[in-house]
Structure formats: structure tokens, C-alpha cells
Chains A and B, each alone.
Chain A
Amino acid sequence: MTIQRREFLAVVGGTTAAGLAGCTGMFSDGEEGSDNGEGGSGAEIDGEELVLTTTTSTHDTGLLDEVNAAFEDRFGTPVQAISQGTGAALETARSGDADVIMVHARGQEDEFLEEGHGINRRDLMFNDYIIVGPEDDPAGIEGEEDAVAAFEGIAESEEIFASRGDDSGTHTAELEIWEESGTEPGGEWYLETGQGMGDTLNQASQQGGYTLADRGTFISQQDEIELVILVQGPVEGGPEILANPYGIIAANPAVHENRNYDLGMAYIGFLTSQEGQEVIENYELDGEQLFFAEALSEDPNFGQYVPADWQPEGGEDPDGVETDDE
């Protein structure tokens, strides 16, 4: 595989470099030399690469490299993964620039499906959110069983709270908890970092503040930061509102004709297969499992394929989606 990719780079590099030899030669003697060997063939690579937009959490935990390496081993197709917030990942796909989308905000995923941009949504895996903060816990929320009450405690004490503020899945989950609490977050204690989970954890740590984090990113980074888990999510028996389910969706080829639908479905198929689910289930960091596979069940949840509030046309049966009576 590595060799193939090198060849690919060499061809791309060589082709362009050859065309531009006149202008780059003056500074680059030798620097691009290794790439100049082959070239001119203008290798047709379109359609051979899969573009995935996904969240920062799947990348920063290292899971993405693990599943993508397994996929590449199986299909020989490199995955080009772009990690953004959930909102940005879906927006990129709306512009027709992605084949597959792996995100974690059901509300935004549903909107994306309803607009016709995506099809064949599957539940992929889950982990949970946790509320983390400084060890001395000035807001006194440690051990709180209720995430909403914990947020209220932070707001009342006006201790620093770092929010993602970037329309990501984690940000969406955080706003849902604030909405439950009836507190409008704002003021000098509430910081919107506008950055990824890793940055936000760093900033919370630097400022001795609190934040809502996905467990995976927190574990992958806990050695670098001075924050501890104060409120657990459902993986460790915490409240259900802190659940963090990931879904995977293919770009709708009827809307985005240029996308590589069959390859996208191969990716979804692989990740939701026994093999792919095992890779997810077995992925550990510091001896801790980060993600819990959710795609396989003898009793499938049919709600995963459609928006959560979807009703069959003309169907009056409010339980139609659940189809419990099989």
C-alpha cells in the first residue's frame, strides 16, 4: 500500500513538477528531485479515493486512522479524511465535496437527510460526554448525577466554562443541556473557543475552567491537561442526556452526481460489518475502550435509517417507525 501511495504522489508531483520545471528548478534542485522520476502519465486517480468528512473527536482519539487503515487493507483505497466540527462536516458534504459523513449530532444529521443530501444513515457507535473541570472543583459539582444540575451549579458559581462554540456535535449537546437547565449561558465566565475539542480542553485546563468533552478525546489527552472527570456519562452510569451516538451517512448520488457513491457505501458497509465493528470495539487508548460499536444487532433499530421524527407518507400510525411488531 505504501508503495502505491508513493507512486501516486510521485506521479502527481512529477506531472506538475515537470510542467513547471523551468520555474521551480531555480530553487528546488534536489528538493523535489525524488518526485521527478516518473511523471507525464497524468494518472487518472479520480474515483479511486474516498473523501470522508468527520468530526475532530474521531480523529483526535486516533480511531479514524485505525478504521481507515483497516479499510485500506481490505479495499486498497486510501481514505482522505477531513476532520471538522459536525456542522462544518455536513456543510462540506452539502457542497458536494464528500462521499461519506461520520458525525455525532442526530438533529443536524436528520436535517441533512431531510434536505436530500444524504441517504442510508446507519448508527455506527457511541460513547458519552463527561463534564470535566479542575481537581479542586470550585463550583462543587463533583459526583453530581444530574448533568443539568451540574451546569446550573457552574452558572451560579460563575466559574469559567469553555464552550466549543463551533456548531459541532459536542457544542450541540452542550446547548441542549443549557436549554434543559433554563439558564442562558453568557457573561465573562462563559468562553466560546470556536475551536476543536482538543483546543477547548487545553483552554479550559489553562484557565482552571470546566467544559463538556467527549470521553474519547478527554482520555486521549488527559496526560497533557490538568482536568478531571467530575460528572460521568452513561458509559459509567451517568445520565442519558450525556450519551454521544455517532452516525454515518452516504452522500446522495442523485443530488451529488460527482460523488463516489459505491465506494462510500463500501466504507459504510465495512464500518458496520462484523470486522469494522470489531476494530471500533477493540480500539483502546491507555487501556480504556473509547467507542462502543452499535451497528450490529439481532433486533435492528429501524429508526436509524430515517430522520428521528419521520413518518411514512399518509401513515397515521405514530409508531410506524419503530416497527416493534415484527
Chain B
Amino acid sequence: MAAETLIPLFVELPFETNYITSIVRVSLYVSLIAVGLSTLFSLPVAMAVGFKQFPGKSLVTAIINTGMGFPSVVVGLVVLFGLSSGGPLGFLDLVFTPEAMIMSQFVLATPVITGVSLAAVTSVEQNVRDAAYVMGGTRLDVALVVIKEARFGIATAILAGFGRAISEVGSVLIVGGNIAYADGTSYTRNLTTAIQLEARQGRFETAMFLGAILVGIVLLVNALVTRMGGGGRAKR
């Protein structure tokens, strides 16, 4: 992992590398899976809403757009109540686990990814879809053509969702519990909750360092996805 090779450069850091790398690992694990699941869920929804005409379509669009700004602490609270031992999903025994954090980030990222891809998908011109049908494409083929046409917008959607997920602190703190083991290995402590904790204890240097890693990860993912989206375009 990149962080592991990077850290020895800063020799006098007042913390152990295991602490930092395990936090980075938890952050990536939780947010990548949450965004992956969210993408799998969001794209079909965006396609369906984008292409079909049905009563209440504007209401559904409004709900998706509202969800994009949904406060993360509220999501955290709702997920906590759902997963808590007394709650409806208590039997899953997921409260204070990374999987609980995935659930809340999924809830946060999904409206963002759905909303932005919806805009991207609907902007694909009708004649492109018509052409695909005319050429004998099945529904799936048409969908794939649309995804291909809208890939830049969809990449932006996934990025926006990833940004929302990995930089969010309110809900993961509530459902994850910010747990690290006694040897400093993180269990449910991710970058944002660790920054919050370090700041609380006045260890601002560690907090700043973690903050720099977080910004670095967001930039890196941004660059990767942009290249994926833009690279395809350049080949054409």
C-alpha cells in the first residue's frame, strides 16, 4: 500500500505506522464497498427513471435530489436504531462493525450517484437510443450504449458519491463506534473519525497528517476515475 512506503519518509511522526495504515485500510474498505454497492444499485435506477415515463416521476426525481443533501448524522441515527440489538435488524449483530459503516455510507452515497447519473443519462440524446433500437439492440444493449455515451457523467456521479462517503464523519461515528484495538489497529476507526478523535485530544499534528492522507486519497481517486472517463473519450 502506498501509505506504507510513504510514511517512513516522515521519521519523527508521533504515532505508529500500524495505526495510520489500519485506519486508511478501514476507510478504503468501507467507502469503496459502499460506493461499489451504491453504483450497482443506482445505475439501473437512474436508467429506469431516466427513460421511462410514469406517473409520479417528478416526485421520484425530487426525492432523489432531496436525498443528495440528507444530513449524515440523521442517517447514522436511523441506521443505528435499525441495527441495534433491540432494532428490526438487530439479529444481524452488525452494530459497531465496518459493515454497519458500509450501510450508512451506502445510504448517503446512493442518492448522489443516482441523481448525478440520472442527469447524465437523460442528457444522452434520444436519437442515440433510437439508433441502437433500430440496429436491433435489446434493452440491455441500449442501456450499455447509453452508459457508454454517458460515461463521463456517470464517472462524475461515482466520484461525487465517493467524496460524500469517504469524507463523511457523522454517521460512521455513530454506527461504527470509532473502535481501535489496544495495539492501535483500527477496527471501525476511519480517517474522518480518527481526525475527530485526534483533534479532541489536542494532537493536531496527527490530525493534520490524517487530513492530508484523506485529501490525497480523494485526489487520487478523482484522477483515476477522470482518466478512465476521459481516456476512453480520447481514443475515439
Contacts and interface: CB of A to CB of B under 8 A. Distances in A.
B28 A28 contact: yes
A51 interface: yes
B43 to A, nearest CB: 10
Interface stretch (A72-80, A108-116, A172-180, A184-192): A72-80
B181 A198 contact: no
Given A78-B181, A81-B179, A97 B95 contact: yes
Interface string A192-206: 000110110110000
Interface in A232-278: 256, 258
Contacts of B202: 198, 201-202, 221, 224-225
B28 A32 contact: yes
Interface size for chain B: under 10, 10 to 19, 20 to 34, or 35 or more residues? 35 or more
Nearest to A197: B200
A27 B221 contact: yes
A135 interface: no
A79 B86 contact: no
A258 B92 CA distance: 11
Contact of A35 (B29, B85, B87, B203): B29
A221 B179 contact: no
Contacts of A183: none
Interface in A1-30: 1-2, 5, 9, 12-13, 16-17, 20, 22-24, 26-28
Given A16-B99, A198-B201, A96 B1 contact: no
Contacts of B28: 28, 31-32
B150 to A, nearest CB: 16
B212 interface: no
B200 A80 contact: no
Given A24-B36, A35-B29, A198-B200, A82 B177 contact: yes
A325 interface: no
Contacts of A323: none
Nearest to A80: B179
A83 interface: yes
A46 interface: yes
Q: Which of A9, A12, A64, A68 gathers most chain B CB within 10 Å?
A: A9
A16 B187 CA distance: 15
B1 A34 contact: yes
A48 interface: no
B181 A68 contact: yes
A16 B33 contact: yes
Contacts of B199: 199
Contact of B183 (A69, A96, A201): A69
A24 B32 contact: yes
A196 B203 CA distance: 14
Interface residues of A, number: 52
A97 B85 contact: yes
Interface in B88-103: 90, 93, 95-96, 98-99, 102
Interface string A70-96: 011000001111110000000000011
Contacts of B90: 96, 258
B49 interface: no
B84 interface: yes
Given A16-B99, A24-B32, A68 B37 contact: no
Nearest to A2: B183
A65 interface: yes
A224 B207 CA distance: 14
Nearest to B177: A82
A146 B225 CA distance: 63
B190 interface: no
A144 interface: no
A196 B85 CA distance: 26
A82 B224 CA distance: 35
Contact of B98 (A12, A24, A198): A12
A22 B29 CA distance: 14
Contacts of B204: 224
Contacts of B201: 60, 198, 220-221
A250 B95 CA distance: 19
Given A51-B96, A97-B95, A32 B29 contact: yes
Contact of B203 (A17, A65, A224, A256): A224
Contact of B39 (A13, A23, A72): A23
Contacts of B33: 16-17, 20, 24
Contact of B32 (A32, A51, A71, A196): A32
A12 B101 CA distance: 14
Contact of B85 (A46, A81, A95, A195): A95
Q: Which 8 A/B pairs are nearest by Cβ-Cβ distance? A: A96-B85, A23-B36, A224-B202, A68-B182, A69-B182, A82-B177, A198-B200, A24-B36
Given A31-B28, A68-B181, A68-B182, 16 more contacts: A5-B181, A23-B37, A27-B32, A27-B221, A27-B225, A31-B32, A35-B25, A46-B93, A65-B182, A69-B183, A95-B85, A96-B84, A97-B85, A199-B199, A199-B200, A224-B203
7 contacts: A13-B29, A16-B99, A27-B224, A31-B32, A72-B181, A97-B95, A195-B200
